[in-house]
Amino acid sequence: MALFPKPAETQHLGLFLLNKRLIRIFIGVAVFLLVALGLLWRRQRDALGDVLMPTLPPMGFSESDGYYPYETVSDYDPVSLDPTNKSTEDLCATFPKHLLSLIQPVLKIGHGEDRTKLDAQLDSVSACFQPDELLIFSDLDERIRNHTAIDILANLPSKYYDQEYNPDIGNYLLQKELRQNGTLDKDKEATKRVNGWIIDRYKFLPQIERAWLLRPDRPFYFFYETDTYVVWDTVYRFLSTFDPDTPVYMGSPSPGRHDMSRDNLKTWFANGGPGFALSRAAVKALIHRDVSPHGQYSGPSVSEEWLELIKDECCGDSVVGWTLWNNGVALQGYWPMFNPHPLHGIPFSDRYWCQPIMTLHKTTPKDMVEVWKWEFGQRKQNRPLLYSDYWNFHQPGTKGILENWDNGDWDASKSGPDQGIDSFEKCEEACKKDNTCVQWNWRGRDEKECVLARSFRYGEARQPEQRDDKWVDFKSGWLKDRLDAFRKERQCEVVEWVGPSITRVF
């Protein structure tokens, strides 16, 4: 056996050792790169967090049966002021303007809306805001008193204005055309062809984007409409208990779309009429856009991204709820504090008594102005105004019997001649025999229907009506002794600040 290998064997051994060394080097470099890339990815993921990979909202809130013991104070100064013979300027001098650094009010209107309602809004809920404090978004640029309404539909992505793809936008374009040729509102027939309700849903997402652009980084944004009554003192008290850097979307819950990716889970959105609030973290989540490594936006704006949904959906508030859901922000329902009822339609009961009021919807223009002034004389330093306080405005249940009056059929049962009830007197008797009944309503003439209700509701004047070939008139009554007992037993020693819920709904 040779002591040394032959030359050919030496060459083969050298190549083998060299290849083995290269393989080790290659494996080492590969492992290093994989570790480095992993660390880099983890660092970027931690830095961007839920922005790049939004967490789906929880399947449901842990809902409490109790109430939150918030201790709040009013920032109005003075807290209470007799409004008798006081001007709007006198009343607004008490308004806590410093709290506008906490909340940005955003009013959505439409050019075609009833001007009586808009005047009532500007003479009440929005009366204390200067032009640089209140954002007003509309479907037409115009001056309204000393305010400027901004056309929120004027600068949308070009696809919005493609009438073949998006036929509804024709209403907006027609309105602009009539404005340009000077016939808007003057040519009544042409103006009637503009359907403002159809184009209203296109305003919701753009108004959130524009509110952030014009008033960036406000802790909260409060969106409301022409016929929304807002109790600003309660809104300030309540929102001051929240962290604006936590995604918060609150309002009166309405059933929305189903999430097919989560076993057909039903989602919820805030009804736009009673208003809704967004924290700045929620707005950031909604308007976030993907960005390229060079800092340029590489993804569409939220209005562009969701156009397909907007044009096919019934309502803009539903679109807002669905887009927020898809960006990891679920609705927190705070009914009855956000209330779809008008003032005259509140069905006073345990569900509407010791809870604070933040908003009402579709309150009449007359009531809007009068209750706003009345409110200045009712505030308390250490307690928000409750439903029980607002009962005192109309005092439903104290009017005895009213002809040509409809106190409604909310929370009620109905009966008629088939049950032996064929007159107003027998309807009253049926209410007295039912221990849960507190008011009744007789719909007479041809209809002959008895309505027995379990809540006190003021209602409204209603003249006889013809329905097809039949007539119906309205007569209402209340059981005052049951009202007196109800009020005596419920002094509201504890303010019922309700927790978030999507099962406690309107």
pLDDT in tens, 365-398: 999 999 999 999 999 999 999 999 999 999 999 9
Lowest mean pLDDT among 12-21, 244-253, 334-343: 12-21
* pLDDT the model gives residue 52: 37
Is 88-333 CATH 3.90.550?
A: yes
Higher pLDDT, 34 or 190: 190
Q: Report the percent of the chain where pLDDT is more than 90.
A: 84
* pLDDT the model gives residue 24: 60
* pLDDT the model gives residue 1: 39
pLDDT in tens, 353-364: 999 999 999 999
DSSP string, 426-493: HHHHHHHHSTT--EEEEE-TTS-EEEEESSB---EE---EEETTEEE-EEEEE-HHHHHHHHHH----
* pLDDT the model gives residue 468: 87
* pLDDT the model gives residue 26: 56
Between CA 59 and CA 495 the distance in angstroms is: 29
Instruction: Specify whether the CB–CB gap between 211 and 221 falls below 8 A.
Output: yes
Q: 129 pLDDT exceeds 70?
A: yes
* pLDDT the model gives residue 36: 55
Between CA 231 and CA 304 the distance in angstroms is: 34
Q: 76 pLDDT exceeds 80?
A: yes
Cβ-based neighbours of 79, under 8 Å, separated by 6 or more:
379, 380, 381
Lowest mean pLDDT among 1-15, 164-178, 200-214: 1-15
pTM exceeds 0.85 for this model = yes
Q: 308 pLDDT exceeds 50?
A: yes
Sketch the domain layout of the chain as residue ranges.
Answer: 18-51, 88-333, 395-493
In the chain, % helix, strand, coil (3-state, to 5) comes to 40, 20, 45
State the average pLDDT for the chain.
90
* pLDDT the model gives residue 135: 99
**Bridge partners, residue 470, by sequence:** 467
Instruction: Specify whether the CB–CB gap between 442 and 478 falls below 8 A.
Output: no
* pLDDT the model gives residue 503: 86
Higher pLDDT, 327 or 3: 327
**Bridge partners, residue 333, by sequence:** 251
pLDDT band at 3 (very low <50, low <70, confident <90, very high): very low
* pLDDT the model gives residue 245: 98
* pLDDT the model gives residue 56: 53
H or E, element range at 296:
none
pLDDT in tens, 258-293: 999 999 999 999 999 999 999 999 999 999 999 999
Q: Which two structure tokens, joined as six digits, stand for 477?
A: 């009554």
pLDDT in tens, 401-455: 999 999 999 999 999 999 999 999 999 999 999 999 999 999 999 999 999 999 9
* pLDDT the model gives residue 293: 93
Q: What is the mean pLDDT of residues 457-477?
A: 95
* pLDDT the model gives residue 258: 95
Residue given tokens 């359907």 in the structure block: 195
Q: Are strands 439-443 and 474-478 parallel, antiparallel or unpaired?
A: antiparallel
* Cis amide prior to 300 (ω within 30 degrees): no
pLDDT in tens, 135-182: 999 999 999 999 999 999 999 999 999 999 999 999 999 999 999 999
CATH of 395-493, one of 3.50.4.10, 3.40.47.10, 3.40.50.10860, 3.40.1010.20: 3.50.4.10
pLDDT band at 67 (very low <50, low <70, confident <90, very high): confident
**Bridge partners, residue 62, by sequence:** none
Q: Checking phi first, is residue 379 left (phi over 0); if not, alpha (psi -120 to 50) or beta? A: beta
Instruction: Specify whether the CB–CB gap between 281 and 246 falls below 8 A.
Output: yes
pLDDT band at 23 (very low <50, low <70, confident <90, very high): low
Task: Give me the helices (H) in 83-164, please.
Answer: 88-92, 115-122
Nearest to 229 by CA among 103, 397, 97, 344: 344
Between CA 388 and CA 230 the distance in angstroms is: 17
Q: 45 pLDDT exceeds 60?
A: no
* pLDDT the model gives residue 46: 42
Single-letter code of the amino acid located at 305: E
Q: 133 pLDDT exceeds 80?
A: yes
* pLDDT the model gives residue 22: 54
pLDDT band at 42 (very low <50, low <70, confident <90, very high): very low
Distances from the Cα of 374 to the Cα of 91, 124, 378, 461, angstroms: 11, 11, 7, 22
* pLDDT the model gives residue 48: 37
pLDDT band at 15 (very low <50, low <70, confident <90, very high): very low
* pLDDT the model gives residue 354: 97
* pLDDT the model gives residue 505: 81
In 3-state terms, what secondary structure has residue 204? helix
Instruction: Specify whether the CB–CB gap between 175 and 140 falls below 8 A.
Output: yes
